[in-house]
Structure formats: structure tokens, C-alpha cells
Amino acid sequence: MKLLVTGGAGYIGSVVAAQLTEAGHEVTVLDDLSTGHADAVPSGARFVQGSITDAAAVLEGMDGVLHFAAKSLVGESVERPGLYWAHNLGGTLALLDAMRTAGVGRIVFSSTAATYGEPERSPIVETDPTRPTNPYGASKLAVDTALTAFAGMYGLAPVSLRYFNVGGAYTAADGRVYRERHTVETHLIPNVLAVALGQRESVNVFGTDYPTPDGTCVRDYIHVSDLARAHLLALDACTPGEHKVYNLGSGTGFSVQEVVSVCREVTGHPIPAVVGGRRAGDPAVLVASSEKIQRELGWKPEHPEVRDIVADAWAALPR
């Protein structure tokens, strides 16, 4: 297929672009490099530097879009909600309009666990209430809502994948390694590994009084390679007029303390931890049921262990 990957110079988009080119697809990456890196674009893909609001120029003749481009810092979204609505919702609406004009119906969208907010039960299933607690999650949920409306009204063929915590690195068939390198890093595993690399003194643990076995927050970690594979399956599942939504996690929760312990074992570094108070809006437990995507698309995580995710992330870091 001829495919447009928005945000394909970013962490997840570059891994998906790499897997798509390996599978024989013709890939164009559209990325404004606001948080991405030009050298993350796979060598087999064409790169166009630009915004999703200018997608019309590159959509002609495409068979589908994989849409990763977004602003995704929760704290920033609280401070600058307008930026998130304009970028994530406004930008995506412009992209959807351009897709309609170009007659492109297939779209796989990066949604998020943040659409659920504080869950009532664990694991979370797709039909559970969506009550985002920050503008980032709200803007992603608004896109999901728009995709449902566009599928019903215009026969768009969207699939939303609601990622939980993504980690690890991907080594492509040509030996090239794709890894996480956000300039502003808010994710736990890279921040803990930065301590082992000597780039940070300690890791902050926000809250040890949650109703979890060791008192720290529990999250569901999914390996970026497993996550990326789900996008290829989703592309084949796109159905005109139907909006399909799938959670993507490994189905197992790991606490912050457990992740830090695994990082200590993998790196052999003591990794000092500084315990602080809870952060506002952090749910105690966020674990996905990925039963629906397993049943409907035959997806299964190959690396459900957080140790594999940490080990691959660690091995990929330059030192």
C-alpha cells in the first residue's frame, strides 16, 4: 500500500514506518520535527517536513494514513489547553478534510489510555466510561468522537488504538535501532535509565500511599515493537463506515517500584529513588484489557515482560 505516516520522525511513528517499509509498503513520512528527529525516518521512506495541516499536498494516491503527529505532554496540556485543542483536534480535523478531498478513507489513529481518566475497574475495556482528566486526554477523545462521526457520515474507515505505557526499542531487519528520545521526557523507564547513565542524580517516585501492593502507581507497559505490529493489523481491519477502537497494553500491571527494581537489575546501577507526594490526576492503577484486539485482529504481545522492555531500551542507549 501507499501510506502516509504523520509524526513518523517521532518515537512510535518511526518504528511503525520501519515495520511498514520492511513489510513492503511505500511510506511517506510527514513530520514538522517539533519533537521528532529527521534521522529517525527509516531510509526506505520518503520524508516531507511539514505540518498535518498541509497534508493535502502529499495525500494524492495514498491508500491510508497512520496518524501519530500530536502534542502529548500532559502537564503542558494543563498549562496551555488551547495549544492542545488546536494541534490535536484542529490539526486532525484539517487532516480528515484533506483525506475526504483526496478520497483516502483508511486511518489508524494514536489514541491513548488518557481518554479513560480515572478508571472504575481494572483491567479497562473499550466500553468503559471515558472521562479524561486533562486537556491532552480530552483532545484525543475528541478526535475519537470525530472519527466515529466521520465514519458514519462520510464512510471513513478509522481504527483508534488506545496505547497504554509504551517503552523499549526496535531493531529493524537492517540492524538499525529505533529508540525513545523525547527532548522533554516524562516517561518513567527512560527517566530511570537516565540515572543509570549518569545524566540524572535520582528518580522521583510520586506517591507511595496508593491502594496498590507496594503503594506506588501501577501501569501497563507495552513494548514498542508489539505496539507497532498492531498498526499493520489495524490497517487491514479498516472498514468503511465503521470506527473500531482497541486498547493496546500487555494486560499486566507493574508498579513504579517494580520498574525501578527491574532497571537496577538490568543496568547493575543502584539508581537512587527520591520519594515525594502524589501528582495531581495520577490514577492508582491503569491496566488495559487487550482482549478485544487479540480476539478480533489476532494480535498478541511477544514481549509482555517489563524486563524485556527495559533491557531493549537500555541496550539501545548510546554511551
Ligand X SMILES: NC(=O)c1ccc[n+]([C@@H]2O[C@H](COP(=O)([O-])OP(=O)(O)OC[C@H]3O[C@@H](n4cnc5c(N)ncnc54)[C@H](O)[C@@H]3O)[C@@H](O)[C@H]2O)c1
9 lines the binding site for ligand X (CB under 6 A): yes
Positive/negative CA dihedral, 106, 29, 74, 234: positive
208 lines the binding site for ligand X (CB under 6 A): no
**Catalytic status, residue 210:** no
- Which residue number, 6 or 267, has a Cβ lying nearer to ligand X? 6
Provide, rounded to whole angstroms, the least separation between the CB of residue 208 and ligand X: 23
Q: Which of 1, 22, 44, 51 binds ligand X (CB under 6 A)?
A: 51
Q: 205 has which bridge partners?
A: 275
**Contacts with ligand X in 100-139 (CB under 6 A)?**
110, 112
Per-residue cell: 58: 502529499
**Contacts with ligand X in 214-233 (CB under 6 A)?**
none
Local structure of residue 89 (DSSP, 8 states)? I
91 lines the binding site for ligand X (CB under 6 A): yes
> Residue 296 — φ and ψ, nearest 5°?
-85, -35
45 CB-near residues (< 8 Å, 6+ apart): 5, 8, 17, 20, 21, 27, 28, 29
Name the residue among 279, 267, 127 with its Cα closest to residue 217. 279
Q: Which residue among the candidates 116, 136, 210, 246 is catalytic per the annotation?
A: 136
10 lines the binding site for ligand X (CB under 6 A): yes
Provide, rounded to whole angstroms, the least separation between the CB of residue 270 and ligand X: 26
**Contacts with ligand X in 17-46 (CB under 6 A)?**
30-36
Position of cell 515493537?
225
Angstrom distance (rounded) from CA 69 to CA 50: 11
Q: Which residues bind ligand X (CB under 6 A)?
A: 6-7, 9-13, 30-36, 51-52, 68-70, 72, 87, 91, 110, 112, 163, 165-166, 182
Q: Which residues form the catalytic set?
A: 136
